[in-house]
Structure 1
Amino acid sequence: MGRRWSVGLRLRLVAAFAAVALGAVIATTGASYLSARNTILQGVQDRAMDMLRTQVSTFAATVPLPPTQRDLDAFQRRLSGYVAVFYRGELRSTGGPPTEELPTEFRAAVHDSDRVLFQRGLWSESAPYLMVGMTVRTQNSVGVVEPTGLEIYAQISLASSQADISRLAAWAWVTGALALLVAVGIALLAARSVLRPVRELNHAARKLADGEFDTRLRVRGGDELAELAHTFNTSAATLRHNVGELRRMESDARRFVADVSHELRTPLTAMTAVIEILEQETDRMPPDSAVAARLVAGETRKLSRLVQDLMEISRFDAGRAGLELDEWDVATAVRDTLAARGWQDSVDVELPEGLVARLDRRRLDIVLANLVGNALGHGAPPVLVRLRREDDGVVIEVSDSGPGLPEAVLPRVFDRFYKADSARTRSEGSGLGLAIARENARLHGGSLEAGNRPGGGACFVLRLPGVLV
């Protein structure tokens, strides 16, 4: 999960860098192309206009006014390129097909202007040209410059310039593509450098989640990532302190429970002996005294069972719980547990014979008593205990036909002191039975799982691998 997130972030950073680089490449390449194109065309245009202006200035004085067609043709031949010469719309001399048809709008603009004008166009789809036009003006006898009626138009092919522009465009895009590749490479290196602290943070967070509370990050520089590393270190230190305090408090609480249970054990033993005597005398007591004696006896036994459970949990916590292993017929052990509590007529069994296992008979009895007792007390009949072999171990299933365990209860059913129904907190057991049962299963190297049957009802599965002999 974390790896996919890291790769995704790297790709997003590279994509962002690449997008910025692509925009910069397009803008730079486009601007360079337009600038070079305009420079090339402007150079061609300026040379054409200068050449036409120079030639007209040189040869226009040789044309008599008004000229004859022969004079006009002679003047046109002196001018280089495709040139057309007009005189007041009456005479014309053209230098080839491109000058035979001139745009009317361009002729009108040249006729009314005293400057050299130009216009770009196409002879065909792939034959661009430049058209330059000017009028010939002269100074009259009183010093006023006036048109002579001569108009000169020259057409210059831009095919060579267009080829240069096309090559320039191709090189520009090739250069841009190479620049983009370089930018992506730089982006990869930059993303790796930027994400290195993030990867270190992710690694440190994983170690912290695994309980290594001494994990710290190196703080480099004073940027946002350094601030993040400092915040992580502060949080880790706070977490370490809080977890240490919680562990200390938990240890103190367990020690307190163990001490209290041990201190209560002796007086409860004496009280149990006393209530047994009281119960024997209840028939000779007044009714009120008999009820009180039975109530005291019941509550004393509940308190005694609670103390025993607390002492058992304390032994598990202290690591002092051990196994007294011996070889037992598992089916017989299950029947003995049911018979000892008078449940043999209330529980259905499927117990194949011949499964002999090496286990702790007393601890198996505790597990089965808790599971069957819960099924009878909180489920509904029929209650079924099923024994089966699994590889070199055994599996015991205890199921009932009641409503089953709510989904919200399943994750916590083995928690200490947990009760699904808060209304039972006073009248029922201590909430330690299933926790003790699971600890006994683990002590055997097995497991205890809770679930619901497909047809309804709770189902507890005890697995004890490797116990068969």
Structure 2
Amino acid sequence: MSGGTATGAARPFPGLRVRLAAAFVAVAMLAALMASGISYVLLRRVMLQRAQDAVLTEVRETLARQIPPLLPPDSAYLVRGQLEEALGAAPGRKAVAVPLALDGALELPPPGSLDVPVTREFARRAVRGVVFQRVVRNGTPYLLVGARATGFRTTVDEPWRTTPPMVFVSASLAREAADLRQFTRVLLIADALALVSAIGFALLATGGVLRPVRRLGAAARALGEGELETRVDVRGDDELADLARTFNRTAEALERMVTDLRAMEAASRRFVADVSHELRTPLTSMIAVTDLLAEHAADENGAAARLVAGETRRLGRLVEHLIEISRFDAGAAALVLDEVSVAAAVAGTLEARGWRGDVAVHGPPDLFVRLDPRRFDVVIANLVGNALRHGRPPVAVRFGPAERSGVAGVTVAVTDRGPGLPADLVDVVFDRFVKSDAARSRSDGSGLGLSIAKENAVLHGGTLTAANGADGGAVFTLWLPGRPPGEGEGETP
């Protein structure tokens, strides 16, 4: 991730299976919740509408049945009692009939006569016809209805004696509310079961989807580890099956390509090894003859003879290096181990090549390590020779005991005060045929010395690294374990 400074360790995203399952469950739960919500709204509307219609129909029918078109004089009190009895007989209902004055004065039901109070505004609207509203009181829903009779006639001389009363009815909706609560609990249980089922189906579905992906991942890892014969089973005709077929075709093409490259590489290595071995014998004779000619040549021919002798020796070193490299490539190089004094081995290497006066040596004289003396000599000779050719004095060899990853061993550092390694060579300095000045067509070295030194270090189970020192110059650091893994005997000379 980018775009800001992290304040803590970034948490990895959940796995693909978790994300797919979460998306599946989210969609399923969204659908279940929408269905539950729509069902609740529709059922609530139907239940309340049904209860409301039943009360309103009963009020209208009772008014029409109990109040005749022409009310006898002074019978309003009797009609009021009949209306209250008829409309308040059902459980959860209360009814109150109040006189209707012709001058517009309103008489409200007495307090407590109904379950919910009647406001004057509601009573005014009830004068014009049947009105209703839902009211929640003390947590219980009620339907309040107000109505007056229509279609009646009054006497001309005494209309107040023949005017029917108004009625107000409060009907409890507690049963409907209880049914809705029960329905809500059922919906919650159904949603919980849907959630559990969605999780189960999601895990099963994503497992089936990701199983081919996991097989492809395992096959890709095996292919990356060099098992080029790896293939995956193709099942079905969907997109994952097409991906598996594509993987198999790619693996087959890669196997053919790698096989061809390995064959070409093996052939080239055999060619180099065969040519090097074939050149060794005539070169040995040529070196002896050219050295003899250079030694006895006259003055005017001495320079040419010495040039031929030097180039022949250089060609001989290149052939020896190629033979050594071919041993490493063929896996034929082996260690002949012995208990060696590091100080004595370093001193012997410098003494044999006449470098004793040019190199400073620092290290404990009593440090002994089990290693191959000849290969150790090759490594030190290549490192010191490289420092003397390409660096500037003082050249120093420092060695001492060192432990890496809990393994005891010895470290040898070769330093100089030259210009150091170019930045573009630090990472490739141990590659074959890499030289400090690639523009030169000729140089004293073959470009294989450091490669051979690296191979010998790895053969011992150690490491060889290159860097530039803080004070200038190149620093080559060799680390060898005190006892190489897989000690063997019998090296091919």
Do they fold alike, i.e. is TM over 0.5? yes
Paired amino acid for 1:101: V
Separation of aligned partners in 2, 1:35 and 1:406: 81
Task: Name 1:82's counterpart in structure 2.
Answer: 95
Paired amino acid for 1:399: T
Separation of aligned partners in 1, 2:423 and 2:192: 59
Structure in which a larger fraction of residues adopt helix: 1
Calculate the TM-score normalised by the size of structure 2: 0.80
Paired amino acid for 1:31: I
Separation of aligned partners in 2, 1:302 and 1:67: 145
1:20 to 15, 21, 27: 27
Q: Is the 8 A contact 2:276 2:319 kept in 1?
A: yes
2:271 to 256, 260, 270: 256
Task: Name 1:413's counterpart in structure 2.
Answer: 429
Task: Name 1:31's counterpart in structure 2.
Answer: 38
Separation of aligned partners in 1, 2:23 and 2:270: 59
**Deviations for 1:324-374, whole angstroms, at most 9, x for unmatched residues?**
555554322211211222221221112433445554433222111111112
The change in CA–CA distance for 1:352 and 1:92 in structure 2 (over 3 A counts) is: closer
2:343 to 331, 337, 341: 331
2:316 to 299, 304, 307: 304
- Is 1:346 paired with 2:358? yes
SS of aligned partner of 1:43: helix
| Number of corresponding residues | 450
The change in CA–CA distance for 1:69 and 1:220 in structure 2 (over 3 A counts) is: same
Per mean C-alpha deviation after superposition, the further-off stretch among 26-35 and 158-167 is 158-167
Task: Name 2:388's counterpart in structure 1.
Answer: 376
Task: Name 2:194's counterpart in structure 1.
Answer: 179
1:271 to 286, 292, 299: 286
1:219 to 216, 223, 234: 234
Q: Identity of counterpart residues, as a percentage?
A: 46
- Is 1:128 paired with 2:135? no
Correspondence list, 1:38-57, <5 A: 38-57=45-64
Calculate the TM-score normalised by the size of structure 1: 0.83
Name stretches of at least 5 consecutive residues in structure 2 with no aligned partner: 1-10, 89-93, 155-162, 485-493
Separation of aligned partners in 2, 1:191 and 1:6: 17
Q: CA deviation at 1:176?
A: 1.2
Correspondence list, 1:366-445, <5 A: 366-389=378-401, 394-402=410-418, 404-405=420-421, 409-419=425-435, 421-424=437-440, 426-443=442-459, 445=460
The change in CA–CA distance for 1:76 and 1:393 in structure 2 (over 3 A counts) is: closer
Separation of aligned partners in 2, 1:166 and 1:406: 82
Separation of aligned partners in 1, 2:396 and 2:145: 109
SS of aligned partner of 1:83: strand
Q: Is the 8 A contact 1:446 1:465 kept in 2?
A: no
The change in CA–CA distance for 1:86 and 1:403 in structure 2 (over 3 A counts) is: farther
Separation of aligned partners in 2, 1:408 and 1:167: 79
Separation of aligned partners in 1, 2:463 and 2:105: 117
SS of aligned partner of 1:28: helix
- Is 1:119 paired with 2:118? no
Task: Name 1:145's counterpart in structure 2.
Answer: none
Per mean C-alpha deviation after superposition, the further-off stretch among 126-135 and 45-54 is 126-135
Separation of aligned partners in 1, 2:151 and 2:427: 108
Compute the RMSD of aligned alpha carbons. 3.3
Separation of aligned partners in 1, 2:366 and 2:117: 119
The change in CA–CA distance for 1:320 and 1:172 in structure 2 (over 3 A counts) is: closer
Separation of aligned partners in 2, 1:376 and 1:427: 14
Q: Is the 8 A contact 1:331 1:352 kept in 2?
A: yes
Separation of aligned partners in 1, 2:369 and 2:121: 114
Q: Is the 8 A contact 1:82 1:98 kept in 2?
A: no
Separation of aligned partners in 1, 2:196 and 2:370: 70
Separation of aligned partners in 1, 2:436 and 2:47: 88
Paired amino acid for 1:126: G
The change in CA–CA distance for 1:454 and 1:314 in structure 2 (over 3 A counts) is: closer
**Deviations for 1:9-45, whole angstroms, at most 9, x for unmatched residues?**
1211121112112211211111121122122212211
Paired amino acid for 1:241: R
Q: Is the 8 A contact 1:84 1:99 kept in 2?
A: no
Paired amino acid for 2:249: T
Per mean C-alpha deviation after superposition, the further-off stretch among 302-311 and 447-456 is 447-456
Task: Name 1:460's counterpart in structure 2.
Answer: 477
Separation of aligned partners in 1, 2:196 and 2:179: 26
Name stretches of at least 5 consecutive residues in structure 1 with no aligned partner: 142-147
Separation of aligned partners in 2, 1:16 and 1:170: 26
Separation of aligned partners in 2, 1:406 and 1:76: 112
Q: CA deviation at 1:460?
A: 1.8
Separation of aligned partners in 1, 2:470 and 2:227: 45
SS of aligned partner of 1:345: helix
1:9 to 3, 7, 16: 16
SS of aligned partner of 1:156: strand
Separation of aligned partners in 1, 2:95 and 2:354: 125
- Is 1:241 paired with 2:260? no
Paired amino acid for 2:49: Q
Q: CA deviation at 1:210?
A: 1.5
Separation of aligned partners in 1, 2:117 and 2:343: 119
SS of aligned partner of 1:250: helix
SS of aligned partner of 1:353: coil
